[in-house]
Structure 1
Amino acid sequence: MYALMILPGAFGCLASLLIASPSFRQHAGAATDSPHMFGSATHIHAEGSDACTPAESSAIPAIPAFPDIDGIALEQLLDLGTTPWRTMVHRWLASAQWNVPIGMAAGNEPYRLDLCRSGPHALVAGTTGSGKSVLLQSWCLALATYNGPDRLNFVFLDFKGGSAFRDLEQLPHSVGSVCDLNLPHAARALRALEAELTRRERLTAEYRTSHIDDVPHPPPRLMVVIDEFHALKDQLPDYINRLVRIASLGRSLGMHLIACTQNPLGQVNTDMKANMAVNICLRVRDDMQSSELLGDGRAARISPTMPGAAYCNDSELVTALRCSPANNLTRIRRQIMLTARFMGMDQAPALFSAPLPSHISPNRPSVSRSDQEHVWFGIQDDGISLSDASCL
């Protein structure tokens, strides 16, 4: 009885050792490679082509080849011609155009993005050196070349020292630009944005319409562009609710958010993210950051040698693209300013005023001679403009 119990186990162990031996696997491989044994390998693969192993089914989709944009600059995508200001005059006189090119997609076709249709808001993520700032610059410049300051305005919030939007803040479309070097000024900008949202709400209520475009002489669409959103959240946490309100109500009021961050995990709350239908992910550090925006880890495998390479998830498709940088950003900006002067369009009025000066010149003119009972003693600030403050 003891032998009968042991023998099956012994034979099983011996069979396992034989199968695991290299010589057995070599003979088995030769037998399966033979076209006369169980059919050819090609035939076997064809019969089982509909099935996939668990590893294959959970694998990340193959990363497509990003388009080669060497020599394809933003100027070529915008097709401004030899006299860019003339081209822009025709575009500004035509109907509004929000579907603008920002880079190249597969097949070396221009990739166009319409934030008003696909958005109304966008979240951009990418690690240092991935090309976030260039993407924001190209996007804003493209919008400005198709739309004048009478129907498009920008507010720039730069929380990495103010370098990202230094050239763009001089556009005639710009109604305000702040950075993290002056937090009180940044807080003023966020309060002004909330006040502008309330003003547009009252405007639509006055004309009993559901969309700001339906009121007579609607205000320009306002693009709020935020670089390093995580830094804004860390330094001004009490003001984030103002941005959440813009995200939830901005579509019908013509206000759009483009928030850019290095790490999208946990930086945007649920209420705000629910209204951000466009997700652009450049190179990130790990799969979790990529999955937050794309649903898988493909953006973590973008090569560091490909700045500007990104995936855009517009809630319908995930498209591989490469952002096209401007060869001469300053020249494009000057052509936009020249177009505005030619058409008699002044700089868009500021949405909020500059901070109060730290020192006031004692030689500042006093009040008029006809009002001698008032004495000037300082400057008052209502958040919109500065004016003399006097007392009786």
Structure 2
Amino acid sequence: MVVTRNVLTVFMASPGDVGEERSELARVVYAINKRLAADLGWHIELRGWENTVPGMGRPQSRINPDVQACDVFIGILWKRWGTPTGEFSSGFREEFEIAYERRSKSTDPEILMYFRAVEPTFAADPGEQYRQVLAFKDKLTSSRTLLYQGYSDVQNFASQVEDHLTSLILKRAQADGRTLHATGGAGRKQPEEGVHELPSLDTSEPIALQVILGNPSLSGEVTLARWDAARRMRDVALAPCALGNGRFWALDPFDPGYGLSLIVGSTGSGKSNAILAMAFALAFSLPPEYLRFSILDLDSFQSVRVLEDLGATVLPLSPHGELDLEAVLKEAKRREQRLKALGYQSVRSLWRRDPGLREEFPAWVICADEAYKFVHDDTTFEKVLAAAGRVAGLGIHIILGSQRMGELGNLALATRAKRIALQMHAEQDFIDFTGTHNPFQRTSSSAPGLAVCAEGEKLESVRFAHVDDRELADAFESAADRWKETRMGNPDAK
């Protein structure tokens, strides 16, 4: 069978002093193609001056067609600007202007610019080459038409560009409906009236959270870079934990519309991994001092203990064998009163405008894998739903998991909650919970992590990541020493 793949053409432009970055970019593209892009029906093709065939004429004119045809333009600058081409001050400048002119007239190419930091002694006495780099950077800053990224070394560049390219691939795949391979499924049962129908999904091995986050190794440097960036950002950039439309799976504790996620799945469906993937994606998005976790029935995970060692608060919430809603509501009331005193309408607006107050309003995620252990009846569940409505938008989010729909009750359908259905015991439960047939029973292999996410009447098929607890713990631990040094060296750093 012929497999059709979309191609994302990436052109890399730079002077000659960033050869290591060019080699590292080739490695990154290879890794993405091997681990992620193929599964989504995409392939990244990397182009640069290395691919140009020798011949007669102006050398730059033989490179430019690749710039004119690329989907993504990646520019890398450090100390050198390059040599004149006869028409522009350097080959890089000519390539950039072609890409920029195309972008001004259409949506392509995406332009990603990266500037490597120089030593202070070099910056104090720059030569003509670096002066041109600085002038170009200043022009980008003043024009406000193009964002760029700084990086400290080759490893830091690799982690950033891997994140960005992974994000672009996921966006392209979502845009053409290929977040997962879809199969037509001849002889499929026709949906009953009033029941939505989704395509069945062809599956493969579960994708690890490390891959979806954009770097399979998830080194301490990558983790630390995410936290450092989060401290400086005005908005919370949530790390991905699933393939598919992020609005359906994102655990955003600052979303005023949702304070609750309900996850139902039978044994082996990947329910526990889905819960943990959502929680740990947030842990990679925010520094430890901005996080609180209450992990019920999942507290054996090493990653949770490492986060606690780093400064994330792990709060016990089951003193008597049930979810302590009074503690949740008490904290919600404190936040409401404090917001009012500070003159803010929401925690999100406070986070954006006053980072110095973030530690007073940390993101608090409450995860319960087996809800029936803590929510014993419909009356208790009603209280959970009421609490979820109260905490929505206050930086608090509750995740409840269950093996059977009946344990959560049809009350779930009467509240604003993200409903996530993995493989279930009964088809009717799946229909009741989502409004659609279970598409996974028609697949060639039902891999853990496949889910239908429901937001109101809108549905999306996604695939949650597999959580490798030891690797995540290693990633957090390897960032710990430098993170603690950062905090000790600058206690007021936010």
Give the aligned residue type for 2:289.
D
- Residue 286 of structure 1 corresponds to 426
- Work out which of the residue numbers 198, 201, 223 in structure 2 matches 1:88: 223
Q: Verify: 1:228 aligned to 2:370, yes or no.
A: yes
Q: 1:71 Cα shift? A: 6.8
Superposed CA offset, 1:78-103 (max 9, x none): 12365622122222122354543223
- Work out which of the residue numbers 195, 208, 221 in structure 2 matches 1:73: 208
- Residue 464 of structure 2 corresponds to 323
Contact 1:203 1:212 in 2 (8 A): no
Question: What secondary structure does 1:253 align onto?
Answer: coil
Q: Verify: 1:335 aligned to 2:475, yes or no.
A: yes
- Residue 304 of structure 2 corresponds to 168
Question: What secondary structure does 2:368 align onto?
Answer: strand
Unaligned runs of 5+ in 1: 1-54, 347-392
- Work out which of the residue numbers 311, 335, 345 in structure 2 matches 1:200: 335
Contact 1:69 1:104 in 2 (8 A): no
Q: Verify: 1:132 aligned to 2:280, yes or no.
A: no
User: Taking structure 2 as the reference length, what is the TM-score of the superposition?
Assistant: 0.49
Superposed CA offset, 1:158-216 (max 9, x none): 2xxx567564354233422466xxx52756x4432232122212212322432134445
- CA distance, structure 2, for counterparts of residue 214 and residue 227 of structure 1: 31
Count, aligned residues: 280
Q: Verify: 1:252 aligned to 2:393, yes or no.
A: yes
Q: Identity over the aligned pairs, expressed in percent?
A: 20
- Work out which of the residue numbers 256, 267, 280 in structure 2 matches 1:141: 280
- CA distance, structure 2, for counterparts of residue 70 and residue 199 of structure 1: 45
- Residue 450 of structure 2 corresponds to 309
Question: What secondary structure does 1:70 align onto?
Answer: coil
- CA distance, structure 2, for counterparts of residue 227 and residue 87 of structure 1: 29
Give the aligned residue type for 1:220.
P
Give the aligned residue type for 1:232.
F
- CA distance, structure 2, for counterparts of residue 76 and residue 110 of structure 1: 16
- CA distance, structure 2, for counterparts of residue 252 and residue 62 of structure 1: 32
Contact 1:124 1:261 in 2 (8 A): yes
Question: What secondary structure does 1:100 align onto?
Answer: coil
Larger mean Cα displacement after TM superposition, 96-105 or 254-263: 96-105
* Counterparts of residues 234-245 of structure 1 (less than 5 Å): 234=376, 243-245=384-386
Question: What secondary structure does 1:310 align onto?
Answer: strand
* Counterparts of residues 93-108 of structure 1 (less than 5 Å): 93-94=228-229, 95=233, 96-105=235-244
Q: In 2 relative to 1, CA 271–170 (structure 1 residues): closer, same or farther, beyond 3 Å? A: same
- CA distance, structure 2, for counterparts of residue 302 and residue 171 of structure 1: 40
Superposed CA offset, 1:133-155 (max 9, x none): 01112222222112112333221
- Residue 113 of structure 1 corresponds to 249
Greater RCO between the two (CA within 8 Å, min separation 6)? 1
Contact 2:261 2:400 in 1 (8 A): yes
- CA distance, structure 1, for counterparts of residue 284 and residue 302 of structure 2: 18
Superposed CA offset, 1:215-271 (max 9, x none): 450311111112111231118x88656533431121231111111112223625748
Q: In 2 relative to 1, CA 132–56 (structure 1 residues): closer, same or farther, beyond 3 Å? A: closer
Unaligned runs of 5+ in 2: 1-189, 488-494
Q: In 2 relative to 1, CA 77–131 (structure 1 residues): closer, same or farther, beyond 3 Å? A: same
- CA distance, structure 1, for counterparts of residue 476 and residue 442 of structure 2: 34
User: Taking structure 1 as the reference length, what is the TM-score of the superposition?
Assistant: 0.60
Q: In 2 relative to 1, CA 315–85 (structure 1 residues): closer, same or farther, beyond 3 Å? A: farther
- Residue 174 of structure 2 corresponds to none
Aligned residues: CA RMSD:
3.6
Contact 2:224 2:483 in 1 (8 A): yes
Q: In 2 relative to 1, CA 151–167 (structure 1 residues): closer, same or farther, beyond 3 Å? A: closer
Give the aligned residue type for 2:372.
H
